[in-house]
């Protein structure tokens, strides 16, 4: 399975794919807009002087609803894919997932605490509830990841396999606590909890978007600086040390970036699986494992794939909406099985 595409061709293809995904995400929904109107309205919203007669409705829909939702999908997809690359590099396993270090389950636990805690206090004021939920999810992700990291460290050395096992144990523990909350929750709370666990870009707003956008840009700028170290790390930790890299520091940075990225993504859009697993894998099949290409290409592909999944989630049951986590799992799980079986053949 030699790489089949040149990096430049891949970047061009992914750029076009992402542009198409952005356009469809802005155009399609309960009220579908003509593509030309969508382009014009989007450009007008960006402040460009485009003639805009009769585009008031389009501008309203795009500006208020679809633009934040699209940007949210873009950021979530990109940051989940980047985190997936970081984890697969850290664990030197192409089947590793950003959830491995416990960040997803920690974030889910944080959110569950906020949802159930809020409900048991007789409901939080609407003004702060969404922020509290996001902040709590983010904090939950960071706390569990920090705990996993501490459990995996001894004498200043981090054992990746111990971290992996600690991540599995804490994920199970968090799952049990979430299960307990689910059992205790009343019907309305249960519904919120379930929807949140399935992930959704619904109800995106600029206020929910900004923190994630900042984190995504930060992670997206930082990780490529460590591309060479990630390449060396694939040889093995001591080999990377012998090539002059500060391996302990690189590992810390990778875990921190992942915790930050996945924590922020889960806080903004709930649990969305498989993007972080499948996207880097797919890109690696196309251009090979060099992280200098893999990182930016995965960010583009992750963003495009998530936007397409969201368009599907909006359209299949329109006017109702499918949680996007279901869509990504429905696509991702069979693909993952295909990869496993192909590897065995």
Considering only residues 1 through 40, tell me which ones interact with other proteins, judged by CB under 8 A. 1-3
- Distance CA(2)–CA(18), nearest Å, equals 25
- Distance CA(172)–CA(169), nearest Å, equals 5
Q: Which is nearer to other proteins, 186 or 239 (CB)?
A: 239
Q: Which is nearer to other proteins, 280 or 325 (CB)?
A: 280
Q: Which of 73-81, 190-198, 244-252, 254-262 is the region at the interface with other proteins (rule: CB under 8 A)?
A: 244-252
Considering only residues 271 through 330, tell me which ones interact with other proteins, judged by CB under 8 A. 284, 288-290
Q: Which is nearer to other proteins, 133 or 287 (CB)?
A: 287
Q: Which of 57-65, 165-173, 192-200, 240-248 is the region at the interface with other proteins (rule: CB under 8 A)?
A: 240-248
Q: Which phi and psi (to 5°) does residue 125 adopt? A: -60, 140
Interface with other proteins (CB under 8 A), residue total 24
Q: Which is nearer to other proteins, 23 or 92 (CB)?
A: 92
Q: Which is nearer to other proteins, 4 or 165 (CB)?
A: 4
Considering only residues 175 through 214, tell me which ones interact with other proteins, judged by CB under 8 A. none
Degrees, nearest 5: CA angle 217-164-158: 80
56 binds other proteins (CB under 8 A): no
Residues paired with 154 in a beta bridge: 157
Q: How far is the CB of 277 from other proteins (least distance, A)?
A: 16
C-alpha 171 chain-centroid distance = 18
125 is written with which tokens? 């004021």
Q: Which is nearer to other proteins, 173 or 243 (CB)?
A: 243
Q: Which is nearer to other proteins, 85 or 260 (CB)?
A: 85
Q: Which is nearer to other proteins, 95 or 128 (CB)?
A: 95
Among residues 7, 94, 130, 211, the one that binds other proteins under rule CB under 8 A: 94
Measured over the CA atoms of residue 175, residue 332, residue 148 and residue 220, the dihedral's sign is negative
- Going by the DSSP 8-state scheme, the letter that residue 158 receives in this structure is E
Q: What is the CA radius of gyration of the chain?
A: 20
C-alpha 217 chain-centroid distance = 13
Q: How far is the CB of 157 from other proteins (least distance, A)?
A: 10
Q: How far is the CB of 80 from other proteins (least distance, A)?
A: 21
Q: Which is nearer to other proteins, 95 or 169 (CB)?
A: 95
Q: How far is the CB of 23 from other proteins (least distance, A)?
A: 34
Measured over the CA atoms of residue 192, residue 182, residue 198 and residue 115, the dihedral's sign is positive
16 is written with which tokens? 């076009």
Q: Are the CB atoms for 274 and 332 separated by under 8 Å?
A: yes
Q: Which of 274, 222, 229 is nearest to 81 (CA)?
A: 274
- Distance CA(28)–CA(309), nearest Å, equals 12
Residues paired with 224 in a beta bridge: none
Q: Which of 58-66, 168-176, 183-191, 239-247 is the region at the interface with other proteins (rule: CB under 8 A)?
A: 239-247
* Binding track over 219-238 against other proteins, x by CB under 8 A: ---------x--xx-xxx-x
Q: How far is the CB of 245 from other proteins (least distance, A)?
A: 6
Phi/psi region, residue 153 (left: phi>0; alpha: psi -120 to 50; beta: rest), is beta
- Distance CA(236)–CA(181), nearest Å, equals 41
* Residue numbers at the binding site for other proteins (CB under 8 A): 1-3, 92-94, 228, 231-232, 234-236, 238-239, 241-246, 284, 288-290
């Amino acid at each position: 399975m030699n790489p089949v595409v040149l990096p430049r061709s891949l970047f061009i293809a992914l750029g076009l794919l992402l542009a198409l995904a952005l356009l469809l995400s802005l155009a399609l929904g309960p009220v579908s807009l003509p593509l030309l109107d969508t382009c014009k309205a989007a450009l007008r919203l960006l402040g460009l002087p485009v003639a805009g007669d009769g585009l008031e409705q389009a501008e309203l829909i795009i500006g208020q609803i679809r633009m934040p939702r699209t940007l949210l999908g873009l950021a979530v997809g990109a940051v989940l894919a980047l985190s997936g690359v970081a984890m697969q590099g850290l664990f030197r396993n192409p089947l590793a997932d950003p959830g491995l270090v416990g960040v997803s389950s920690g974030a889910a636990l944080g959110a569950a605490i906020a949802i159930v805690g809020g409900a048991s206090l007789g409901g939080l004021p609407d003004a702060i509830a969404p922020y509290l939920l996001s902040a709590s999810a983010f904090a939950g992700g960071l706390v569990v990841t920090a705990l996993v990291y501490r459990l995996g460290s001894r004498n200043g050395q981090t054992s990746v396999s111990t971290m992996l096992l600690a991540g599995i144990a804490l994920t199970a523990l968090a799952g049990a606590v979430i299960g307990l909350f689910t059992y205790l929750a009343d019907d309305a709370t249960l519904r919120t909890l379930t929807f949140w666990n399935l992930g959704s870009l619904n109800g995106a707003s600029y206020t929910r978007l900004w923190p994630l956008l900042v984190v995504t840009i930060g992670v997206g700028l930082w990780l490529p600086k460590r591309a060479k170290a990630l390449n060396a790390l694939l040889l093995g930790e001591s080999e990377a040390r012998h090539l002059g890299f500060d391996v302990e520091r690189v590992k810390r940075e990778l875990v921190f970036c992942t915790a930050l990225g996945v924590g922020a993504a889960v806080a903004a859009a709930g649990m969305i699986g498989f993007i972080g697993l499948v996207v880097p894998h797919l890109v690696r099949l196309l251009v090979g494992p060099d992280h200098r290409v893999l990182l930016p290409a995965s960010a583009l592909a992750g963003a495009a794939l998530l936007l397409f999944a969201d368009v599907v989630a909006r359209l299949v049951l329109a006017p109702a909406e499918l949680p996007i986590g279901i869509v990504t799992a429905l696509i991702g799980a069979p693909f993952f099985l295909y990869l496993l079986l192909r590897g065995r053949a």
